[in-house]
Every structure is written in C-alpha cells, then in structure tokens.
Chains A and B, each alone.
Chain A
Amino acid sequence: MIAVAVFSFMKNPSVTEAVMSAMIRFAVPLMLGALCGIYCERAGIVNIGIEGQMLLSAFTAYMTNVWTGNLILALLAGALTGALLGYFLAVISIKLKLNQIIGGTVINILAIGITGFFYQVGMTTKGKFGPIRLGPLAKIPLVGPVLFNNPPITYIAFLMVIISHIIFFHTRWGLRTRAVGEHPRAADTLGIDVFKTRYLNTIIGGALAGLAGAFLTLEGVGTFERNMTNGRGFIALAVMIFGKWNPIGSALAALLFGLANALQTQLQFMGINIPHQFIGMIPYALTIVVVSGFIGRSRSPAAEGTPYEKE
C-alpha cells in the first residue's frame, strides 16, 4: 500500500496529498470512536452507544461555541458530555447490572431525541479550528503536509492512539484493565478493584467519544446538523473489531475506511462512474469478513458483556 502511495505521489502529488488528507479527516472520528470502544471493552463493558455519545457531544460542543466563542471551552464541553454519558453507561452496566446493549441503545435514542428537539436554526459560530503547521516537519514531501499540517483534534487523536497503545500494553494500569476484561474474578483476587477500573475506563472512553463529536462540529464542519453523525459511531465499532481491539490496529483500520471514502470521491472526480453503492458496501462487507475470522482470529476480551458479581 505504501508503494502505491509513493507511486501515485510521483505521478500526481497534489492529488495524492489531497486523498491522503481526506483519508485522515474521515478517519479521525472513527479513530477516536474506536478508542472509546477499546477502553470500554478492554475493561469488559460493551458500548454500542458511541453514536449517541458522539452526537450529543457534537451538539454541546457546538452550543458552547455559539455561546462563548471559545473553541477550547467548546472542546472541553464535548469531552465532558462524552464522559458523562460514559459514566451513565457505567452506572447502568456496573451498579445496576443491566444489559449493556440496552444501555447503549438508550443513549443513542436519547441523543437523537434531545439534539433534534433542542436544536434551533439561525445560530452562528465564529469559526472552527484551523490547521496548525508543525514547522519544518510540514515540509517533508507527501508525508509533511498530510501529517503535520492538521488542526488540533486531529493531532490529539493521533497522540491518543500512541498513548493508549502504551497504556494498554506497557503499563500496570493497562495490564490491570485487561485483566479485568478477561478474568475479572482472578483480577479481583489479586486485589484489583474491578468496579473502579471499569468505571474509570468507561468514563475515559466516553471522553474520547466526546472528542470525536467535538471534532465534527469544531473541526470538521463548524456547525451542527441533526443526525450529523450518520452512523459513524457504529462504524467505529467495526473499526475497533477490525483492529482487533488494539489502538494502533484500529487507527490503521480507521485509515482504511477513510481511504475507501476518499477514493470513492476521487473516482468520481476523475469521472469514473462505478455505482457508488457498491463502493459504499465495501467497508461493511470487509468488517463482516474480519469478524468472522476469515482474516486471522479476532478475539474480544473474554469477560465483556457480563456484569461482575462479587462473591
């Protein structure tokens, strides 16, 4: 794939750069959403409410932007909303031991209802996050402008991928979390607080989903529209599974999905007319293939989905 990229760069640099930039832009909310899923599921909580978390966070981030004009504040508002909803899911799953899929569904429907009902047209914002050039790094051909000339949330997303990877696989915290997700009873006997771990991870995950929502309204578009998440939260789940519950794997999967989208657009630009529905189907079909194990084994954390009962 890298060879193809380099090759196409030689032929037509601006096109390649544009496609790669678009790929990253499509991928960012998916990446953050997938990270949310990873934090939750690695600790044993199934979260299908990522879509609702994104939507409501996008809304609050937007409203804060309208209200205060302060983008940083708006970003925090979005992350906070996500975190709150994460806490909500955690309480449902851990304290009340209810079915986590229902909890996620409630979040989704609630988000649609609240944002649809309260959104009023006619408000404007003073703008959105612009790109920040990272000095000389941005001058590297191909890689430079694509990777190092991006708005803040994009950088945060990439950073979080790396940080999360380190956390999960190279820290005690990550080890504990994974233990809780695989064998909560064993973890418990080792003195790990299962409940607290699950709470914290779900809240962190929620904040990440909140960032994804904030990305849409603060960096992607600049305004809010009803239902603007359009299923990205569910695709993020697919990305997470595709990436085998690994932050870096998921990031790559997100880029793949993003690439599919960017390519589809590019083909249209170039006048090649394949019925777009077929290209649209590809990411979903691929996910099914991966989940079914036709491409390597894909195993989820063993204890996810079941509430933990202390003896």
Chain B
Amino acid sequence: MSKKFVLVFSLIIVASMMLAACAKPAPTPAEPVAPAEPAAPAAATEADCAKPEVICIGLVTDVGEVDDKSFNQASWEGVVAGGKEVDAIVNYVETKDAKDYVANMQLFLDKGYDILVTVGFALGDATVEAAKANPDVKFIGVDQFQGEVVPNLAGLIFDEAKSGFLAGVLAGKLTKTKVVAAVLGTDLVPPVVNFNRGYVAGAKWVDPEINVISTYHPGGMDVAFTDPDWGATTARQAIGQKADVVFGAGGKTGNGALIEAASNEGLYCIGVDTDQWETVPEAHKCLVSSATKAISPSIVDLIKMAKDGSFPGGNYIGSSALAPFHDFEAIITQEIKDALDEGLKAYDANAITLPEK
C-alpha cells in the first residue's frame, strides 16, 4: 500500500531529475573561476585571499540569482572578466533574503577579499556601512547612488534615461503605426522608471504625434520582475492596439514581452540592461537593439583601477548606449543613424526634458 505510494512519489522525483540531467548542459556562469595562469608556480586558492599579493574579488547579488539573464548576471560577468585581467580569484553569493545583505558581504570580508561588488540599489545602505568599516577593501556598488563620497566605495551608476532616450528615438524612427509600447517591471525601481522616461522623451522627440503606451507590473517587488506571462500578455495587448515596437524593461517580465513580440511578424522589440541578443535568443526575430548600461565593462575598468591604485570613490558614471543591431544592421538606414547621433547630442546638451514618470 504505502509501497505503491512511495513508488509514485519516487517516480516524480526521478523523472524531474532525469529531465534536468539530460538537458543540454548550459554554459552557466555559475562556476567560480579559479585563476588558471600557467605561469604561476602554484595556483592560489581562496584560502590565500588574506595574503596581500593574492587578489580576491567577490560579488553579492540582490535577491535573485546570478543567472537572471540581466542585472546580476552582467555584474558577475564583469567580475569574471575583470578577474581574468588582474589574475584574481572570484566568487559570488546569491542573496535569498534581503536581511542577509550585510551577512553575505561579511562572508567575503572575513576571508580577506580585496574587492567587493554589490549589485542593486537595495544594497546601498549596507554597502556604505561596510565600506566605512573596512577602509582597506574596495567596494563597487552597482546602481548605488552615492550621496557622500566614501573613498573606497565607487557607486557605479548609469544614466538610464539616456539609453532609454536612444531606444525611444530608435522606436520612433522604426514605427510605421506611430504607436510604440513599453512593458516595464515596476515603478518602485528608479532605474526602470528612468528608462521609461527616456523612452517616452525619445519617441516624442522624433515625432510628437507618436503615442507611447507604457505599463508597469501591478505587483510587488517579489513578482514584478519574474512574471513573464504578464509581460507577454501585456505586450499582446499593446500589439493589439497597433504598437509595432515593444520595449521590454523589466527582467524576466520584460523578457516575456520581447518573446511575445518576436512571435509576431514584422514587429520590433528593444531589450534592456545588457545586449539581450545574447541572453534572450527567442527574441532574435524582433530584437533590433537593447538600451544598455555598460555594467560588465565598467566593472572591469573599476577592477583594473583598484589594482593600480586609482580607484575613484564616489559616483562613477558608466556608459549607457544602444547595443549593436546584429541581424538588423541592414534596416538601420543612415537616416536613422543620423537621428540617433543628433538625439544623443541634444540629450548630452541637456536640451531634453523628461516626463514625470
């Protein structure tokens, strides 16, 4: 009796394990990279982090995983790349509970890590505290605006509105229906709001008649970025109202919107944060570009600066730009490129007013 029961149960477990095990192994960024320089006499391990000559770089994510195809992942990739540049050992911890920010950072500090990257504005306070308490460690706070300058803490911030603006200009130029859409994570996250503000301004800059329909996920932080079905349905709703360009800016929720746009003929979509051509292949059919924040390259730069002693405390503004056009290179006419250049100039000259939200 209970044997049959145990059998069924084990079946379910084994089946799911088999499914996962048989899946094609993914190029996960999950494995921390140990330094592999052939020239080194003996490979340094994590235990040596306390030694001054061994550089160890750590990463603490916001609530979420390091393979989230966006934020956390881009930061981790930056750490890995930067680690290679300076021959460092790298490791990460995924935060599951927001109350663990400090404790997670402490894990690295206890082991004598030299550089610590914390991802997301939610870790802002905790990072400042840790930086002040550990002046010999360099901190890089992604998306953390620094109100005051702490010399060993670089707040890596981006002008999201700028790349949003460029995305809006692109959308404005590409749209034939004069309706463009944006599907956004949540208005509780300032960078997301800034992307939208730039997007709206950009589209209107091209043609004030363009109708920009944008919407934020109604849920709280725990669901707003992990609801791809809502993203897809909302994109569908926008497409039904003649939107032919969809800007997906909201983690996995936004990804859902991109994929939805891709499954329709003749639509364009624009990704966010990183070059989503790489991370959301299902969206290739429509993905013209992405409004990026150069997270990875900026982290690499900061790591190098930390090594050669020119680490900039305070705010460090990384670049924000449009990702390459990949397969859509052909449709980006010179006219469009000129418009983008012009728009960029106007933006940099502070000639653009952004809407409220």
Chain A interface (Cβ within 8 Å of chain B)? Answer: 14-15, 17-19, 21-22, 25-26, 29, 56, 59-60, 63-64, 66-67, 81, 84-85, 87-88, 91-92, 95-96, 114, 118-125, 127-128, 130, 216, 220-223, 225-228, 230-231, 261-262, 264-266, 268-270, 273, 276-277, 279-280
Contact = CB atoms under 8 A, between A and B. Distances in A.
12 contacts: A15-B241, A19-B237, A22-B237, A22-B240, A25-B233, A63-B19, A85-B12, A96-B5, A127-B263, A220-B228, A221-B231, A230-B223
Interface stretch (B138-146, B214-222, B331-339): B214-222
A66 B23 contact: yes
Interface of B: 1-2, 4-5, 8-9, 11-13, 15-17, 19-20, 22-28, 65, 67-69, 213-216, 218-219, 223, 226-234, 236-242, 252, 255-256, 259-260, 263, 281-282, 357
A121 B4 CA distance: 34
In the A-B complex, the 5 residue pairs with the smallest Cβ-Cβ separation, listed nearest first, are: A18-B240, A122-B26, A118-B20, A276-B218, A268-B215
A202 B72 CA distance: 41
B12 A88 contact: yes
Contacts of A230: 219, 223, 226-227, 229
Contact of A216 (B223, B226, B229, B263): B229
Contact of B282 (A15, A84, A95, A125): A125
A13 to B, nearest CB: 10
Contacts of A223: 228, 255-256, 259, 282
Given A25-B236, A114-B13, A266-B237, A91 B5 contact: yes
Contacts, number: 157
Nearest to A264: B218
Nearest to A87: B8
A273 B12 CA distance: 46
Nearest to A267: B215
A268 B214 contact: yes
A276 B186 CA distance: 10
B226 A21 contact: no
A29 B237 CA distance: 17
B226 A226 contact: yes
B68 to A, nearest CB: 8
B9 A88 contact: yes
A145 B20 CA distance: 38
A171 B241 CA distance: 43
Contacts of A29: 229
Given A120-B26, A121-B68, A268-B216, 17 more contacts: A21-B240, A22-B236, A64-B19, A67-B22, A81-B12, A84-B8, A85-B12, A121-B26, A123-B24, A220-B256, A221-B259, A226-B65, A228-B228, A262-B233, A265-B234, A273-B357, A276-B218
A225 B226 contact: yes
Contact of B215 (A66, A91, A265): A265
A56 B16 CA distance: 9
Contacts of A262: 233, 237
A2 to B, nearest CB: 20
A97 to B, nearest CB: 12
A226 B1 CA distance: 34
Which of A26, A29, A279 is packed against the most chain B CB atoms within 10 Å? A26
Which of B27, B67, B234, B237 is packed against the most chain A CB atoms within 10 Å? B237
Contacts of A125: 282
A285 to B, nearest CB: 14
